[in-house]
Amino acid sequence: MNHTQFLADKYNPIKEMENFWNQAKRHLRKFNGIPKEHFYLFLKECEGRFNVGNPKMLLKDLKKLLRELC
């Protein structure tokens, strides 16, 4: 992919998408194959891991959510 046309933009989603796919492929490679009917669920797990970040951030967000609900 030619990234030069996107360098002028302040927000470059191409690099984020490539980063996500690299992480997803690395994670999914561990399973040595996934049934087609379950691929969507595995991909959603990768999406969650990518968006949430590390476990400490997840715990912090869950605690905040619980405080708001109670």
pLDDT (mean) for 19-39: 90
Q: Which of 14, 58, 49 is nearest to 28 (CA)?
A: 49
Q: How confident is the model at residue 43 (pLDDT cuts 50, 70, 90)?
A: very high
Report the domain count for the chain: 1
* pLDDT(22) > 90: yes
55 in a domain, yes or no? yes
Question: Which domain covers residue 24, as residue numbers?
Answer: 11-69
Q: What is the pLDDT of residue 37?
A: 93
Q: Is the dihedral of CA 16, 30, 57, 69 positive or negative?
A: positive
4 in a domain, yes or no? no
3 in a domain, yes or no? no
pLDDT (mean) for 30-35: 88
Give the C-alpha separation, 57 to 35, whole Å: 31
39 in a domain, yes or no? yes
Contact indicator for 46, 28 with CB cutoff of 8 Å:
yes
